[in-house]
Chains A and B, each alone.
Chain A
C-alpha cells in the first residue's frame, strides 16, 4: 500500500515541524527515513498513524486519508522507539495486539509463535514483559508490530539503545523479518548505516523539510546539496563532497593538502587525521606513515567526488 503526503504541513506552537508538499512512498518497499534529531522523522510516522492531525494537507494510505478510526488502525503496525508494555507476559502483550484486531484464538497463537521465533524471543514469551532486558524488549516490540502483518509497518528507531552485538545481530536479521511479515515499511533512523542496510529507498529530512528521496544508492551517490552530503557522511570541501572512506594519503584525481594531527591503527588499516583549513579530514594511509604537523597530500578518485557548483566559491581540488 502506497503512503502519499499531499500538501502536508504540521505545526507545533506555531512552528512548522514537518512540511511535505508532495511525496509518495512506494508500496512493498522499505523506506528509511533519515535525519538528524528534531528533523520531523517521528512526526512523519505519527501523522501516518493518525496520532497527529496535519494542519494542512493530508496523508493517504492507499487512496484513503489517514484518520483516527478503526480502518486506519488496522492498516498500521507501529513499533515505537521506546518499547512500552502492559503488565503481563510478553505473550499476553503480543496477544492483546491481535485480540484488539478481533483475530481468532488459533490464528493469534500461530502468529505469536511465528513472529516470536523470527525475532528470537520464543523463549521469552512467558516472561514478565517488564522484566526483559533492553535488547529483548526491543525484539518483543518488533515482534508485536510484525505479528500484526499490517499493510503498512512503521518502525521508529528499531535498534535504539541496543548494545553493539545485539544491534549487529538485528541489523542482519531485520531485512528477513520484514520480507516475511511486512509489506510497506517505513523505518526511522538517524544512523546512516542503519538506513543503508535496512532500506530500499531513502528519505532525508532536515528541519522538517524533505531534502532527498529516491532509491538509497542513488540518493547516496548523488546527494542534492552540500548539507545533505555532509549528513550522509561526505567530507565537504568547498564546492566538492568526498564520499566517506574515499580519502587516501597520496596523489590522485582530487587532491587537497592536509596538516596531520594524528595517525592511528584502526586494526585493518592505518588512518591519518588532520585539517585542510578548518575542515577535519580522515584518510587511509597506504605508504609511509606520516607524523603530526606533516603537510601531506590526500586525494580521492574522481568517481568518489560530488560537485555542487555555485554553492561555494572556494576552489579546493
Chain B
C-alpha cells in the first residue's frame, strides 16, 4: 500500500515538474495507439457492417475468425508482425521493424477484430428492415451507410473504447515490434516494464497511474458522448 502511495506522490511530482521524458512517452503512447485505433475504425467499421448485413458463403467462418481475433493475445500478434517485418522476413525491405510505424501496424491488427466484432454486433442489433427502408426511401449506398453508422453509434463508440483500451494497455506487441527504444519507441506500458526491471518501483507505479488516468480520460470522453446519445 505504501508503494502505491509513493507511486502516486511520484506521479504528481513528475507531472507537476513537467518531466520531459514522461511527457514524450505519454504523447507517443497517445499518438501510436490513437493512430492505430483510427485506422482500425476506418477498416473495421465497413468490414463489420459488411459482415453484419452481407449474405455470402463463408460469412459464419469469417465471423468466427473475427471473434477469435478479438481474444488474440497481443504478444502473439506482435510475434506475427515481428516475423513479417524483421530484416529476413517478407516485408523486411520496408525497414519498419523497431519503429513507431511497426507498433501502429501491430496495434492496428490487435484493435481491428475488436472494432469489426463490436460493429457487426451493433449493426445486427438495428431493426432488420432499416437498410431496406433507407434503400427504398432513396438513400444511396454511402448515405445509407452514414445513417446506419449514426444509428449504431452507441455500439460503435463501444468499439472505439474497446479498441483503444486494448492497444493502449498492451505491452507484448509494442515491446516485440517496437523494441522499447528510449526516446523513440518507448510507450507507457513498455516504460513500466523497464522501470520495474530496474527496480524503480515508484516511477513504474507513477507511469501506471498516468496510463490509467489517460485511459480513463479518453474513455470518459467517449462515454459522455455515448451517454448523451442515450438520454
Contacts and interface: CB of A to CB of B under 8 A. Distances in A.
Interface string B121-150: 000000111101101111100010001001
A77 to B, nearest CB: 8
Contact of B136 (A73, A85, A86, A96): A73
Contacts of B127: 82, 84-85
Contacts of A96: 137
Of the listed residues B130, B132, B136, the one surrounded by the most CB atoms of chain A closer than 10 A to its CB is B136
A70 B137 CA distance: 9
B93 interface: no
Contacts of B130: 84, 86
A100 B143 contact: yes
A97 B128 CA distance: 18
B139 A80 contact: no
Nearest to B153: A87
A51 B129 CA distance: 11
Contact of B135 (A73, A77, A85): A73
B132 A74 contact: no
A49, A73, A101: which has the most chain B beta carbons within 10 Å?
A73
A100 B135 contact: no
Nearest to A130: B127
B138 A73 contact: yes
Residue picked from A46, A49, A70, A80, most chain B C-beta under 10 Å: A80
B151 interface: yes
B136 A78 contact: yes
Contact of B129 (A73, A74, A80): A80
A82 B127 CA distance: 9
B135 A80 contact: no
A36 B127 CA distance: 24
Contact of A80 (B133, B150, B151): B133
A172 interface: no
Contacts of A70: 138
Interface string A81-115: 01011110000000011001100000000000000
B130 to A, nearest CB: 5
Contact of A100 (B129, B137, B151, B229): B137
A137 B147 CA distance: 20
Nearest to B140: A70
A211 to B, nearest CB: 27
Given A86-B147, A86-B151, A87-B151, A101 B129 contact: no
A86 B127 CA distance: 9
B137 A97 contact: yes
A84 B229 CA distance: 19
Nearest to B133: A84
Given A82-B127, A84-B127, A87-B151, A100 B132 contact: no
Given A70-B138, A73-B136, A73-B137, 13 more contacts: A73-B138, A78-B133, A80-B129, A82-B128, A84-B129, A84-B133, A85-B127, A86-B147, A87-B150, A87-B229, A96-B137, A100-B137, A101-B137
Interface of A: 46, 49, 51, 68, 70, 73-74, 76-78, 80, 82, 84-87, 96-97, 100-101
30 contacts: A46-B132, A51-B135, A51-B136, A68-B135, A70-B138, A73-B135, A74-B138, A76-B136, A77-B136, A78-B133, A78-B136, A80-B132, A80-B133, A82-B129, A84-B127, A84-B128, A84-B129, A84-B130, A84-B133, A85-B127, A86-B130, A86-B147, A86-B150, A87-B229, A97-B137, A100-B138, A100-B139, A100-B143, A101-B137, A101-B138
